[in-house]
Structure formats: C-alpha cells, structure tokens
Structure 1
Amino acid sequence: MPIPQEPKIISGNSNPTLAKAIARRMSMHRGRTLNLVDARVERFADAEIFVEVFENVRGEDMFVIQPTSNPANDNLMELLIMSDALRRSSASRITAVIPYFGYARQDRRTKARTPITAKLVANMLTEAGIERILTMDLHAAQIQGFFDIPVDNLYASPVFALDIRDAFKGQRENLMVVSPDVGGVARARELAKRINAPLSIVDKRREKAGEVAEMIVIGDVTDKTCIIVDDICDTAGTLCKAAETLMEQGAAEVHAYISHGVLSGPAVERISNSVMKSLVITDSIEPNEAVRNCENIRIVPTAPMFAQAILNIWNGTSVSSLFEHDTLSPIYEGLYSDG
C-alpha cells in the first residue's frame, strides 16, 4: 500500500467555502498546492444522494469536511455516503471534519420516550467507516464519550479572545463576559479567563419550550461593555432578550460571540433590530446572503485553526496545543494584532 505523501481533503455541499479556505491555508503551511479531491456529490431526481470520487484515494489519509448544519439530514447523509465511498475505495484512514456537529442538542433524555439522537449519529458515523472526528465546540462535551473512536474537539474561545483583544483595544478593563444561562457558565468562564474579565450570568426561566418567561442578571453590569458568549444561536430570541435585560440593568453596550451561527427563521431580522451592537460568529456554518448582508453580524474565520489541526492529526502531533494563545496567535498572524 502506498505511503500517503500529503493529507487529502474532500468536501461535501454543506460548506465548500470553508473547505477551500482550509485547503488554501494548508497549502501555505506545506509550501505546495493542496487542492480538494475531485468528486461529485449530487442528487437523483427523487433526492437520493450520489457520490463519485474521480481521484485514486487508495492508501490515502482522507479528511472529509462537512458540517451537519441545515439541512441537517441531507448533510449528514452526504457525510455518511462520502465516507462509505472512500472506505470502499481503500482509503487508509477517514477523518470526519465536522465544524458544526448537528443533533448535538439531543444529548440526553429530557422526558420519557425521547431519543438520544447525538448517540445515534455517533453510531452511524462509526459504522460508515470514519475512524476519527474533528469538530468544534460540541454543545455538550460528554458527546465525545458517545464515540468509540478518537474525537478532537476544538474551541472557538481562543480565536474569540484574539478578536476581542483586537476589537476592544482601550476598553479591555471595562469588559464583562456574560453567560446567557447557567449551563454555559464553564464556556463563559473560559473566555473571561483568557481576556482577564469578570463574569456575569443571565438566569432564564422558561414557561414552555422556545419561550423565555423571565430573566435575572446575576452580577453588576452597570456601565460595562457586556460580551455574551454561547455555542449556538438558532432563532436568536433568547440572545436578543438577554441583551435587552442587560441594557435594562445598566450595561453600556452589549455584544455577542457565538460559535455556531445557525440563525434560523427570524434570527437575522431579530438581530438587526436588537439592542446588541454586534454579533460575532464563526464560519463553521456557511452563512447565507441575509447573514452576510447584516450590518451588525461579523464572521471570524476558523480555517487557520482547522488547517493546523488537520496537519497535526496527519503528522501525529498535539491538537490540544491549539487551545493556547501562544500557539494559535501565530496561526492568525496578519488577521489580528497582538494587543
């Protein structure tokens, strides 16, 4: 079997822009052009998915880039079918690069007779021949334990910390990191520690699913520039209400840093009309035209981090080194000043 000379990248239809950006970054690191593997991922007339790989991948170390975002079922099936095609083509190893891991919010039984869909998806990915997972900001860290294969979970907080240092120069001492609920305190504390800022919490109570009845701010946010931190923004209802609550409690400004901009339904309109001055998301999910055109939504790139993580996996070196500022900052050199 031939020894792989370079990692090979293949992309589905979920986020080809990110896949191409990762390939460009890897080309810069390797000093040679790394193109996406030539393939077609199409649909028959009845919407069945068909995959054909046009290059020889026998013995190759394959990385399949495919967030399982909306439409989650289509993108998940694309990933499974691509992995099966690669396995049957004798690829030596298949790593699924899933910047946004769909179905992660169904990680436990909240009521009787409900599924644990995150575990089901983990089983499906493993059965498809995937031998390793690379993802970012899983909704619940314990999902890594649903897999019997290695899972590398990257974090957006180091990239957010770089962005905050650059965007809030001169007012760092006035920053306050806010968790929009009690469950996200660990994530918010991690970012607060990185930028040396205090932490506040918005405690929310729901009367029924999707509706927030009451919000209480724990901590003094008076005259503070508040930064709400969370992993997912879906319809943006909770996020916008949290921003309003903070402003009512005397905050000077409210900004938000969200790892995955799902932004379904009325989300973009709500954000446009919100008291939030800005919403910063990553490109883990391909932004639609409305998101790209929204004046108070800004997108930070993850391609530099994912490219380095892929190279580290391929080389057999540490992925967790990317959690540190001193390691990540040079990767983003030119995008942010180290202020």
Structure 2
Amino acid sequence: MSRLKLFSLDAGADFGGRVAAALGEPLAKHEERCFADGEHKVRPLDDVEGADVFLVQSLYADSVSSVDEKLLRSLFFIGALRDAGAARVAAVIPYLCYGRKDRRTKLRDPLPTRYLASLLEAVGTQAVITLEAHNLSAFENAFRCRTVHLLADPLLLELAVARMSSEKRPLVVLSPDEGGIKRAEKFRRALSEGLQRPIGRAYVEKYRSGEHLSGGTLVGEVAEAAVLIVDDLIASGATLCSAVRAVQTAGAGRILALASHGQFSGEARAALARLPLECIAVTNSLPQVGLPGNYALLDCAPLIAEAIRRLHHAGPVSELTI
C-alpha cells in the first residue's frame, strides 16, 4: 500500500491542520511563491513519488484571494503532484465552488459545474471529495473520476436533537425554497426518528431572476411551532431572510436555521442579525471569524479525515455518503 501524504495550501492551512490532527497524519510541506507580475508557483517539498496524495482546499473568495485564484493554485499544484510521481491525487474540496449554476435556465447559459470537473480531471485528479454539493446529481454526473459526496446531516442533526429534546411545542422542518424540499424531508425524517415524535413539514416558494428574489408564500402550518429551516448554503442570506419573514408572519414560536455551508457574502451577517433567529448553525467548511453569539460552528474536519482514511485504505467510503 502506498504511503499517505496530506497537503493543504496556505489559504486552507487552518482547516487542513484540523483534518491532519483528526487523521493522525502531519501536513506535508509545500512552497508557495508570488512573483512581481502577479503569477505564482506552488510545489511539494516532501517526496510524493508513489504516494497516495490528498489536497485539502475549499474554494471560496475572501479578502486575500479570489475563488478563481484558489482554484488555479489548486489545479497547478495537483499537476505538480502528478508530475512528481504521485500514485494518486485526490482533491478534497469541502466547499466546491461554481456548484450553484448546474443547469441551463437561459439561452446559451454556461455549465460551470461541468467545466470545473473537466479542469480538475485535466490536471490528473483521480478522486474528488466534497461536502454537501448544491446539486448531487449534477455533481456526480459532471465527473468521470471517482467522487465522494459527504453529508453534513449527522452534524446538523446532533445539534437539532440537543436543542429540541425538551421542546413541547410542535416541531416543523422547513425548506426555504422548493429546490431543497427533498433535503429538508430527509432531515425531517431523521429528526423525527431521533426525537421519537412526529414533525411537520413546510416550504417557502421562491423565484429568482438574476440576484432578484420574489415569492415568499409559505406552504405548511407553523403557528406556535419551533421551526428548523434547513438548507445547504447561506450566501447573501436573502433566501433565509425571506423564509424567516414568512414563518414569523405565520406565528412561529421559535426559529432556527441550519446550513451545511456558511458563505455569508456581502451584507449577509448584518441582514441576518435583524432576524429573530435563535440559532444559525453552519459547518467550518468555510473559514468563520468573529461569529456572533447566536451562531453555532460545527466541525466537519473529523468527517473529512474519516473519508480520507477510508479512501486510502480502500473503503468502505460509501457508508459516509448515504
């Protein structure tokens, strides 16, 4: 069996270190250099010839670098790893960029999810591990290499069971749009089993044109209920704000939001701070700094580490994806 090598670029070093600690393996050494003309170089310093290599790097924009720069550095580094003789290179991308545009809705629309897959495969990526892709079917169909789709549900479910175990009011799991109904329903069934009590379902109608949202009609009964809004991503917060306003108007007694990824772009945090949300729970698939007191940060590094361990030892990985 080839030896395992775990890398993380500088932009993801904190999370990469958490994965390394959970895995019981040190982060391998690498070098990143920026040149005066804006170009850069990334190379492994550890010997990777014949190794089973995992690169841990979420792809997102921050104040230091754009999502495209992180993507390009990751692609170049994967290429360098393959050129250095790595037996296999797996891209571990807890938050996968360009996942929200996964189908054509207008004439001549692009399909970035498919193009991203082509780029990763072109440089020699042989496996891709991610957490809660926006559209599972689009993610799995875009890649020809092996994919591992991890679920954040166990982390979110643990928090929900702890918060709702003594709740006497009716419970409702709500999807903030029609596209997330299946995700919310799966969560509702698991929560109902965990709490051993019936739980209602609801959703909010949403229509999007560019960045403009409309709709907001609530479907379901939430009066006097404790409502858990379940989604895969909080980005600008507009979808969540619309859902919270709808259930608040309908008389919900308690409102919590649970999402796999917390992007919080633009004025999202300021907008969410004005809402009567008891708790906003997200994983640390994206770096979170200075979260307010009503936020709960769930560590997904042990889950990522377990997926890497199982993939390295040839399974069983599929148990983490169902």
Same-fold call, TM cutoff 0.5: yes
1:213 positional shift: 2.7
Using the alignment, how far apart are the partners of 1:69 and 1:153 within structure 2? 18
Moved more, 42-51 or 15-24: 42-51
1:169 positional shift: 2.4
- Is 1:241 equivalent to 2:250 in the alignment? no
Give the aligned partner of residue 52 of structure 2.
61
1:209 positional shift: 2.4
1:141 positional shift: 1.1
Give the aligned partner of residue 334 of structure 1.
none
Give the aligned partner of residue 305 of structure 1.
303
1:61 positional shift: 0.3
1:94 to 89, 95, 98: 89
Please tell me whether the aligned partners of residues 13 and 66 of structure 1 are also in contact (alpha carbons under 8 angstroms).
Answer: no
Using the alignment, how far apart are the partners of 2:248 and 2:169 within structure 1? 19
**TM-score under structure 1 length normalisation:** 0.88
Using the alignment, how far apart are the partners of 1:154 and 1:79 within structure 2? 20
Using the alignment, how far apart are the partners of 1:169 and 1:245 within structure 2? 25
Question: For each residue in 1:144-198, what CA deviation from the matched residue of structure 2 results, as whole angstroms up to 9, or x when unmatched?
Answer: 1111111010111121111211232211773211000111011101111110132
- Is 1:252 equivalent to 2:243 in the alignment? no
Return closer, same or farther for 1:172/1:48 CA change in 2, 3 Å cut-off: farther
1:133 positional shift: 0.5
- Is 1:10 equivalent to 2:7 in the alignment? yes
Letter in 2 for 1:215: G
- Is 1:314 equivalent to 2:312 in the alignment? yes
Identity in percent: 28
Instruction: Supply the RMSD in Å over aligned alpha carbons.
Output: 1.5
Please tell me whether the aligned partners of residues 79 and 123 of structure 2 are also in contact (alpha carbons under 8 angstroms).
Answer: yes
Using the alignment, how far apart are the partners of 2:103 and 2:168 within structure 1? 38
Question: For each residue in 1:106-129, what CA deviation from the matched residue of structure 2 results, as whole angstroms up to 9, or x when unmatched?
Answer: 211111122111111100000111
- Is 1:104 equivalent to 2:99 in the alignment? yes
2:147 to 144, 151, 165: 151
Letter in 1 for 2:106: K
Unaligned runs of 5+ in 1: 28-33, 325-339
Please tell me whether the aligned partners of residues 169 and 225 of structure 2 are also in contact (alpha carbons under 8 angstroms).
Answer: no
Secondary structure of residue in 2 paired with 1:91: coil
Give the aligned partner of residue 118 of structure 1.
113
Secondary structure of residue in 1 paired with 2:10: coil
1:323 positional shift: 4.8
Give the aligned partner of residue 127 of structure 2.
132
Secondary structure of residue in 1 paired with 2:241: helix
Moved more, 142-151 or 211-220: 211-220
Please tell me whether the aligned partners of residues 15 and 285 of structure 1 are also in contact (alpha carbons under 8 angstroms).
Answer: no
Secondary structure of residue in 2 paired with 1:64: strand
Give the aligned partner of residue 40 of structure 2.
49
Please tell me whether the aligned partners of residues 240 and 276 of structure 1 are also in contact (alpha carbons under 8 angstroms).
Answer: no
Letter in 1 for 2:21: R
Please tell me whether the aligned partners of residues 223 and 251 of structure 1 are also in contact (alpha carbons under 8 angstroms).
Answer: yes
Unaligned runs of 5+ in 2: 193-198
- Is 1:21 equivalent to 2:18 in the alignment? yes
Q: After superposition, where does 1:178-197 map in structure 2 within 5 Å?
A: 178-196=174-192, 197=199
Return closer, same or farther for 1:182/1:310 CA change in 2, 3 Å cut-off: same
1:202 positional shift: 0.8
Secondary structure of residue in 1 paired with 2:307: helix
Q: After superposition, where does 1:221-240 map in structure 2 within 5 Å?
A: 221-240=222-241
Secondary structure of residue in 2 paired with 1:15: helix
